[in-house]
Structure 1
Amino acid sequence: MTLSQRQIATFAAAVLFFGMTAISPSKADDMKRTVTVSASASVEVDPDAASIMSGVVSEAATAREALDTNTKSMSNLIDGLKAAGITDKDIQTSNFSIHPRHEHNPKDGGPPKLVGYSVNNSVNVLVRDLPKLGEILDLMVSLGANQMQGMNFIVTNAETLKDDARREAIANAQRRAKLYATAAGAKVGDVVRISEDVSSEEGGPRPMFRAAKMASAVPVAPGQETLEARVTVTWELD
C-alpha cells in the first residue's frame, strides 16, 4: 500500500510540528530576559620602579672604528650600572644597529658622499629602588650614555592593587542594573556572564630627553598611576 502525496505532506508537517515542539523549551530558556551593564572604577597608586631606555651612539670613519668605540662605551656603561646595584636580569639590550652616514652637497649636485658610520646600542634598565632613580640617570650619562629614548614608571604589583578597582566596578554595575530593572518593573536575578576589558595603556612610555650635561641627582617626579578596571556584566531578570 502506498501513501498519497497528500498523506506524505501531512506526515511531514506533523514531524516538523512535533520537532519544533520538542525544542521550544530550550528556545524559551534562551529567550530569558536579561540586563547587561558596563561599568568602571579606578584606584590611584604610587609607582615602585622605573624602566629607562638609554644607550650609546658612536660615530667614526669606518664601521670597525665606530663599533670598537661603541663596544668600549657600552661595556663601561653596563659595568657601572652593575656596580651601582643593577642586576644582570634588569639590563636588557633593546636595539643594536650600524648605519652608514652620508653627506649631501646641494651645490655640486652629485650623489651623497659616504663620510662614516654610526653604531647605536640601546638597553632597557629596570630600576627597582625608585628613590635612586635620579642618581642612576646621572650615573648613566657620566658612564657614557648619550641617548635617552624614554622612561616608564611601573607598578610591579599592579594586578593585586587593581583588585579593589575590580570589586568597585562590579558594585557599580550591579547598582545600575538594579536601577534599570526597577524602572522596568523587574528584579535582578542570577549573573549570566562577567567579562573584563583588558587594556595595555596603563604605565605607558613617558618621553624624556636627549642626554646632555646633567647635574647630580637628576630631579624626577614619578607621580601616581591610575589603575582602571572595566567590566561588563549580564544578569537574568526575574
Structure 2
Amino acid sequence: MKMTKRFFFVFLAVFLLSISTAFAAQKDAPAAPTLSVEGQGQGTATPDMATVTIGVTTRADDAAKAQNDNAWVAAQIQNAVEGLGIAEKDIQTRNYSFYPNYSTEKNHQNEITGYTVNNSVVVVVRDIKLTGKVIDAALNHGANEISSLDFSASDTRAVRKEALLNAVQDARDKADVIAKGLGKRIVGIQSVSENTGYLETRRFNGNMLLAAAKDSATPIAPGSLSMTATVHVDFILSD
C-alpha cells in the first residue's frame, strides 16, 4: 500500500515537471512572424433611382400675389409630375422662403420694392427612365430652377460584397508577392478588419440641366456608381 502511494507521488511529480517544462519551452519559443497588408477593392452598380430638386421663384410688387403665383406654379408642376406616374409621397417640399426686396438706389435703401418667394421641391424618381421627362415636365410648367440631380441605387448589398471580395483579393495578392520575396509562406491569418465606404451618388449640375433642356428633351445618362472597401489582414508566415 505504501509502495503504491509512493509510486503515485513520484508519477505526479514527474507529470507536473513535464507540464512545466513544456510550458516553459512554449513560452521561450519565438512567435510566428506576421505580415500586415492592406487591400483595397471597388464595386460598381447601375443606378436605378434619381432625385431631382426643382425650384420655383416668383416675384411681385404685392406680397400676396408673389405667394399666390408661386403656389399656382408649384401646383401645376406637381400635377404634371404626378401625371407621369410619380407617387405623391415621392414629391416633398425641401425649402420655402419669402422675403421683401429693397431698393438699391441711394437714399431709398430701406424702401420695399417687391417680394420674392422661392419654393424647392424634391422629386424621387423610382423609374429611372422617367428622369428626363420629370425635368422637362417641371420646366414646361413654370419651374425656373433645377438645383440638383442625383443618381443612386436602392440595393447596395451586391456592390458592397463585390468591393469587399476585391479588397480581400488585393490584400492576398500583395501578401503572396511580399512573402515570396522574403522566402516565406503564408500559413494562416492572425486578424482581419474592414472598412467599407458609402455608395457614391452621381450628381449633375443644375445649370447644365437647364441649358440642355432649353431646345430639346433633357438627355439623361445615369452612368455607373462605385463603392470602395478596405481590408487590413495580418497573415502568419512560415518557412
User: Shared topology, TM-score over 0.5?
Assistant: yes
| CA shift in 2, pair 1:110/1:89, >3 Å | closer
CA contact (8 A) 1:91 1:125 kept: yes
Q: Deviations over 1:41-76 (max 9, x none)?
A: 224433222111112111122333222221222122
In structure 1, list runs of 5 or more residues that go unmatched.
Answer: 1-24
Moved more, 219-228 or 70-79: 219-228
Are 1:194 and 2:179 an aligned pair? no
Distance 1:112 1:187, change over 3 A: farther
- Structure with the greater alpha carbon radius of gyration: 2
The 5 Å alignment of 1:20-59 reads 33-59=33-59
SS of equivalent to 1:176: helix
* Counterpart AA for 1:68: N
The amino acid of 1:113's aligned partner reads: E
Counterpart selection for 1:111 from 109, 123, 136: 109
1:125 to 123, 126, 132: 123
Which string of whole-angstrom CA distances, capped at 9 and with x for unpartnered residues, describes residues 69-113 of structure 1?
2122212212221221101232122111112212312xx355353
| Residue type of the alignment partner of 1:114 | I
1:162 partner SS: helix
Deviation sequence 1:145-198 (CA, Å, 0-9, x none) = 111111012222233233222212111111112222333344332241221142
- TM-score for the superposition, normalised by structure 1: 0.75
Kept after mapping to 1: 8 A contact 2:198/2:227: no
Q: Which blocks of at least 5 consecutive residues in structure 2 are unaligned?
A: 1-26
Partner of 1:99: 99
> Which whole-Å CA distance do the structure 2 matches of 1:135 and 1:157 have between them?
24
1:211 is displaced (CA, Å) by 4.1
**Coordinate RMSD, CA, aligned:** 2.9
Q: TM-score, structure 2 length as denominator? A: 0.75
Other-structure match for 2:218: 218
- The residue identity in structure 2 corresponding to 1:104 is T
Query: Superposed, which structure 2 residues align to 1:66-215 within 5 Å?
Result: 66-105=66-105, 108=106, 110-188=108-186, 189-199=188-198, 202-209=200-207, 211=210, 214-215=214-215
Secondary structure in 1 matching 2:205: coil
Cross-structure match for 2:21? none
Aligned length: 210
1:179-237 deviation per Cα after TM superposition (whole angstroms, max 9, x unaligned): 2233334433224122114246x114321327477345322222222333333333344
% identical equivalent positions = 28
Deviates more, 1:94-103 or 1:156-165: 156-165
